[in-house]
Structure 1
Amino acid sequence: MRKGLLLLLLVMVLGACSMEEDVKAEQDSVNAEEKDNPVEQPEENSEEDKKTAEAGEKEDEPQEEEAYQQVSEPLYELSGNWAVKPIDDQANEKVALVTIDDAPDKFSVDMAKTLKELEAPAIFFVNGHFLDTPEEEEKLKQIHELGFPIGNHTFNHASLPSLTEEEQYEEIVGLNDRIEEIIGERPVFFRAPFGQNTDYSKQLVEEEGMLLMNWTYGYDWEQDYQTASAIADIMVESPLLADGANLLMHDREWTAEGLEDIVIGLEEKGFEILDPLLIKRP
């Protein structure tokens, strides 16, 4: 009787151990399956949902592109005496426009770097005969890449009234083509050598979508102003300096050396150096 009871207890213990091992084996199998095939948890917000939410939050804010277009609208125009004036009373009247002719000869790149450091915009008016070599082409590219608008100053700096219409065409449109080959853009400003235009040159300039421009004053070709200090002094202290002054300078050693003092002197007199791209063009 006692032997039978002990045998029964032994069977029950062995059965319990066997069941425990079966449960453990089954659980291990489930864990392995989950490891090999993990269940994807839902994301709190997908990338598309985030973009949609952000768009909803900002729908009342002005778009960046619209803001850029608003800033880029012309604020100034040329007056009859070649000065720059505000189109309406929202723009600053006390501005000065810096222009450099006969680029890119020997000093234009240095002048562009000086202006860039001073955060002073300018137009560089180019002559085609300074674009004869790869080195000269590279100079033009550098000026353009520094962010300065490139203007047309004719191919050979000839007096336009002395040329035939065919020759004037080559001087103006031919140079636009050449500049576009180098920098990928056509000029939007034109200045005739010596300020001498013809009816035909004015027509070409209009057809090319350029703004015809002369100047209000300049001095750096005169003997008395061919040092850095002399040209800096006269450009800042000239009796012709007024609101909207259109300043004519050239690729000259003394002008390059005096350029920083000219810009600083104008700013100390309260003048803002005008961004040429804010001037109304055809």
Structure 2
Amino acid sequence: MRKFFTMTAAILLLAACGAEKAAHEDKQSGDEAAKQETREHKQGAENKEEDKPKEESTKQEEAVASPEYKLNQNTFALEPIGEANPKVVLLTIDDAPDEHALEMAKTLKKLDAPAIFFVNGHLIDSPEKETVIKEIHDLGFMIGNHTYSHSDLTTLPEEKQGEEILSVNDKVEKIIGEKPKFFRAPFGKNTDYSRKIAEDENMLLMNWTYGYDWEKEYMTGDAIAHIMVDTPLLQDGANLLMHDREWTNDGLERIVDGLRDKGYELLDPALIDTKTE
């Protein structure tokens, strides 16, 4: 009988040890499964994060590839495409960088107000002025082509017209790494040849709807700020012409504030369809 109880106890002890070992193995297996699930979850999250910038990049590319405004080549006003906000105006500054362009760019940057700076080639012939135009571009502003010497293109032979336009494109590309997307002829006077060059260079030919800062009566900050905002020519899609001038620089912040007070959004030129075909 004692032998029977001894054998029974031994069997029970072995069974208990086996159960404990199995439980331990089950726990280890469960722990490993949990760890594996955690690793897979973490990896999935990392993959999701890696995919996120790609998705955002794709969306940004789609945004760039989908312009929201087109330029009316008869009135030079900006017209909405689809459901874009019609109550917009475009700011443009010619004859940059003369003396005030960089300060004007900094003012506009502070106000979160986009614009196009149209440059004259003879104003970026020095290393100092090259630095200025690069800084304006680095602030986020588009650089447009306004010819080399600001000559009336209608008075020049075709060869000279080509030099006036193409030399600026080459110079701007060297400075900022890209060619201008917009072309504005001096005095708004184009020729068939200048139009062809602009088209060949994939530049959108752009004049303006109104401007005043070359008229003597508006050569103060107060006067130019008042007329640019209160003119009857201000309407949806207006294309505003200003220049690198002391008085325009002085009135610039008031112009921006006044336009916004009237409910106008300042149009980002990156949203303009620049296709020339």
Output the TM-score relative to the length of structure 2: 0.82
Match of 2:75 among 68, 72, 81: 81
Paired AA for residue 87 in structure 1? I
1:219 aligns with 2:208: no
**1:145-184 equivalent positions in 2, closer than 5 A:** 145-184=138-177
Distance 2:52 2:241 in 1: 46
1:257 aligns with 2:250: yes
Q: What do the CA deviations read for 1:217-241 (whole angstroms, capped 9, x no partner)?
A: 0000000000000000000000100
Match of 2:62 among 70, 93, 112: 70
Match of residue 232 from structure 2:
239
Paired AA for residue 140 in structure 1? I
Q: What do the CA deviations read for 1:112-154 (whole angstroms, capped 9, x no partner)?
A: 0000000000000000010121111111011001000000000
Secondary structure (helix, strand or coil) at the match of 2:211 reads coil
Specify which structure has the higher proportion of helix.
2
1:140 aligns with 2:159: no
Match of residue 25 from structure 1:
none
**Shift of the alpha carbon at 1:66?**
2.4
**Shift of the alpha carbon at 1:56?**
6.4
The verdict on how the C-alpha distance between 1:49 and 1:140 changes in structure 2, with shifts beyond 3 A counting, is same
Q: What do the CA deviations read for 1:73-129 (whole angstroms, capped 9, x no partner)?
A: 2000011200001012x1100000000000011000000000000000000000001
Q: What do the CA deviations read for 1:178-223 (whole angstroms, capped 9, x no partner)?
A: 1111111110000000000000000000000001000000000000
Match of 1:111 among 92, 97, 104: 104
Output the TM-score relative to the length of structure 1: 0.80
Paired AA for residue 232 in structure 1? A
**Shift of the alpha carbon at 1:71?**
2.6
If you compute each CA radius of gyration, which structure gives the higher value, 1 or 2?
Answer: 1
1:99 aligns with 2:92: yes
**Shift of the alpha carbon at 1:51?**
3.7
The range that moved more, 181-190 or 243-252, is 181-190
How many pairs were matched up?
A: 241
Paired AA for residue 70 in structure 1? E
Distance 1:64 1:180 in 2: 28
Distance 2:88 2:45 in 1: 44
Match of residue 116 from structure 2:
123
The verdict on how the C-alpha distance between 1:167 and 1:93 changes in structure 2, with shifts beyond 3 A counting, is same
Paired AA for residue 85 in structure 1? E
Distance 1:177 1:95 in 2: 32
Distance 1:48 1:137 in 2: 53
Match of residue 52 from structure 1:
44
The verdict on how the C-alpha distance between 1:46 and 1:229 changes in structure 2, with shifts beyond 3 A counting, is same
Match of residue 14 from structure 1:
none
Distance 2:204 2:155 in 1: 22
Q: What do the CA deviations read for 1:240-276 (whole angstroms, capped 9, x no partner)?
A: 0000000000000000010000000000000000000
